[in-house]
Amino acid sequence: MTKEPSRLSRALSDYPLIPLTLLLVVLVVALELLRPGIVNERWIANTIKFAIPLAMLAACQTLTMLTGGIDLSAGVAATVVAFVMATQVPVLGVPLAIAVSLIPAIAMGLLNGFGIAICRVHPLIMTLGTGLVATGCLQVYQRFVIASGSVVPESLAWLGTGRTLGLPNSLALFLPFAALILLAQRQTGFGRLLYAIGSNEGAARLSGVRTWQVYFTLYALSGVIAGITGLLYVGLIKAPSLSLVNPMLLPSVAAAVVGGTSIFGGRGGYGGTILGALILTVLGTLLTLVQIPEGARGVFFGLIILAVTAIYMRLTNQT
């Protein structure tokens, strides 16, 4: 433990995005070698299209993980928003339906904030519980609206699946979103408070931070981001269901972790998460291309996530 960090590892911990970018390039090259000609404009657009919802949902995990928390209700929140929006469109019209659908996500976030900040419940448990309650509520809600049917608005389908000049339209949503998060995490007081709380909550509290306000804002924000992800994702899939975004929850945690955000807080950032989401998406394609059974794909997926995280932590000296 007293060993001086080598120059390489110091450089890597100063610029943690370099090894991730290298890994992404290696994966893409492997894909090209495996199936020459697959890496073209169309493939890139498709990869980005599927990586964007994952990266957005992973933003919830990144921001909460910076404070040492996690948001396991994000997947459910996204599903709820997507479902409520699709079923309310025939009744309320598109703009109002979108506005109404975000309300449950904010409510879930505030409930999370209340449990975590005021009652001091572990975020893992609190968000898990909120997710359970919301799933139940969604199932009951579904029986009331089953007659009205559901519509995915044209505008969301355009955003989710359309392409302009070869690039997916969802970039129009994602680029400002990512810029905002990247700017917020380093340049704004709120972003710095997240790092401060994650590094040492007691110290942050003693230096006058009202941690409960930060938690409320953070989890409500996480709910809103999850909600927007749900809207985008339903535009991509075009079929709202009761478990639409839920399967993306654990990959979103994985994307943040692979991207170098520490699950104990205070370390990492959204830049890594975006690369993490891209890496996971390319990895998914790679494993689909190789003709192996579905089970083996899961095994490799898990092992690669673990190996990447372990190597990455070794390289950047975060043990």
Partner 1 sequence: MTQTLAKHGWTLGLAALFAALLILTKMIQPDFGLSGLDSLGRAALPFAFATAAMTVVVLAGGIDLSVASMMAVASVTGARLMDGATETEAVWIVGFVLVVGLCMGAINGALIVFTRVPDIVVTLSMLFVWEGTALLILQGPEGGCAVWLTNLILGGLTLPLLPEGLTNWLPKSVVLVIVVLGVIWVPIRRSKLGLSIYAVGSDPLAAYRSGVSLGQTRIIAYALAGLLAALGGLSLTMSTGIGEPIPGPYLMASVAAVVLGGVALTGGKGGLMGPILAVFVLRLVRMDLTLLSVDPNVTTIIEGTIMVVVVMFGGLLALRGRIR
Q: Cα 37 from chain centroid?
A: 30
Computed from CA positions of residues 203, 204, 210, 212, in that sequence, does the dihedral angle turn out positive or negative? negative
Query: What's the maximum distance between 2 C-alpha atoms anywhere in the chain?
Result: 68
Under the criterion CB under 8 A, does residue 119 sit at the interface with partner 1?
yes
User: Whole-number minimum distance, CB 41 to partner 1, in Å?
Assistant: 31
Contact pattern for partner 1 over residues 64 through 103, marking x by CB under 8 A: ------x---------------------------------
| # residues contacting partner 1 (CB under 8 A) | 48
Under the criterion CB under 8 A, does residue 254 sit at the interface with partner 1?
yes
The helices-and-strands tally (H runs, E runs) of the chain is 14, 2
β-strand partners of 163: 168
User: Whole-number minimum distance, CB 4 to partner 1, in Å?
Assistant: 19
User: Whole-number minimum distance, CB 206 to partner 1, in Å?
Assistant: 16
The whole-angstrom separation of Cα 152 and Cα 86 is 5
3-state SS class at 251: helix
CB 37 within 8 A of CB 31: no
- With respect to partner 1, which residue has the nearer C-beta, 177 or 216? 216
Report the chain's C-alpha Rg in angstroms: 20
Closest CA to 312 of 18, 59, 28, 27: 18
* Residues between 278 and 307 with contacts to partner 1, criterion CB under 8 A: 293-303, 305-306
CB 85 within 8 A of CB 98: yes
- With respect to partner 1, which residue has the nearer C-beta, 103 or 242? 242
Computed from CA positions of residues 23, 25, 27, 30, in that sequence, does the dihedral angle turn out positive or negative? negative
Stretch in the footprint of partner 1 (CB under 8 A) among 81-89, 186-194, 274-282, 308-316: 308-316
Q: Which two tokens stand for residue 90?
A: 């025939």
Cα angle for residues 116, 68, 181 (degrees, 5° grid): 100
- With respect to partner 1, which residue has the nearer C-beta, 46 or 309? 309
The whole-angstrom separation of Cα 123 and Cα 222 is 13
Under the criterion CB under 8 A, does residue 110 sit at the interface with partner 1?
no
- With respect to partner 1, which residue has the nearer C-beta, 207 or 319? 319
Contact pattern for partner 1 over residues 124 through 163, marking x by CB under 8 A: xxx-xxxxxxxxxx-xx--x--------------------
User: Whole-number minimum distance, CB 195 to partner 1, in Å?
Assistant: 18
User: Whole-number minimum distance, CB 256 to partner 1, in Å?
Assistant: 10
Q: Which residues bind partner 1 (CB under 8 A)?
A: 70, 111, 114-115, 119-122, 124-126, 128-137, 139-140, 143, 250, 253-254, 257, 262-264, 293-303, 305-306, 309-310, 313, 319
